[in-house]
Amino acid sequence: MPRMRLDRLLSNMGFGTRSSVRELLRAGRVTVDGAVAKDAGISVDPAAQAVCVGGERVEWKENRTVMLFKPRGVLTAARDPKQTTVLDLLPPMYRALSCMPAGRLDKDTDGLLILTTDGQLAHRLISPAKEVKKVYEATVDGPLSDADVRAFAEGLEIDDADGVFTAKPAGLSVLSSADEESRARVTVTEGKYHQVRRMFAARGRTVLTLRRLSVGGLVLDPALSPGQWREMSDEEIALLES
């Protein structure tokens, strides 16, 4: 872990701007290895030294990985001048640490979204070659049949900007089917633009609601509500790396 300025460390960890961090230092609220720190420019190793603010140790992690229950209406982006993004739902620390979405969810789709500072983990989740399974629950207009299940399993032809492509075989499990509305779970291993919606459209169905339930072996925490988040445990991250 490289050393860094004390004020930069505390600012990145969510203790305010560098000027507000300097106020904490002047007030004697910051200690390094038990000694009161007054100099904002001193170099510290956050992994090896005990940096405390108000008596509480600053927990340093080399990487931060977050599970977010993304709500509908929020963009999967770092910044947008007009619309709320997923980074706006997290404390400023995460933006300062360059925590970024590992993949995307459409604006009108909710559910599990992973954000991380770990570039290798993000690449694994995004890379088509890794074929990481993603499970969605969809509500569509109209009935679903065994023919739809077979079509998903065989790989549907979907119109694309560059022509027609064949989506990889996907799992379709019909939870309920009626003339007015049906519910189903879909398992895909690729993530092209609006893919699940376009797969249903290829079968003459319009998606009314769409929620991502899981990525790899990681399931959305049922204790989270839309807009809520929490950092993931090492055991949960291991589910994504296996």
108 catalytic? Reply is no
Expressed as residue numbers, the domain containing 39 is 4-57
Query: Whole-model pTM?
Result: 0.84
Residue 14 belongs to domain with CATH number: 3.10.290.10
Number of domains the chain is built from: 3
pLDDT exceeds cutoff 60 at 185: yes
Rounded distance, CA 67 to CA 228, Å?
A: 9
Q: Which of 57, 84, 102 is the last residue of a domain?
A: 57
Which residue in 106, 110, 118, 148 is the catalytic one?
A: 106
pLDDT for the residue 16: 80
pLDDT for the residue 18: 85
Residue 84 belongs to domain with CATH number: 3.30.70.580
**Same domain assignment for residues 112 and 222:** yes
**Same domain assignment for residues 84 and 117:** yes
**Same domain assignment for residues 99 and 151:** no
**Same domain assignment for residues 82 and 201:** no
**Same domain assignment for residues 189 and 149:** yes
The string of DSSP codes covering 133-202 is -EEEEEEEES---HHHHHHHHH--EEEETTEEEEPPP-EEEEEE--SSEEEEEEEES---TTHHHHHHHH
Average pLDDT over the chain reads 92
Q: How many residues does the structure list for the chain? A: 242
pLDDT exceeds cutoff 80 at 1: no
pLDDT for the residue 59: 82
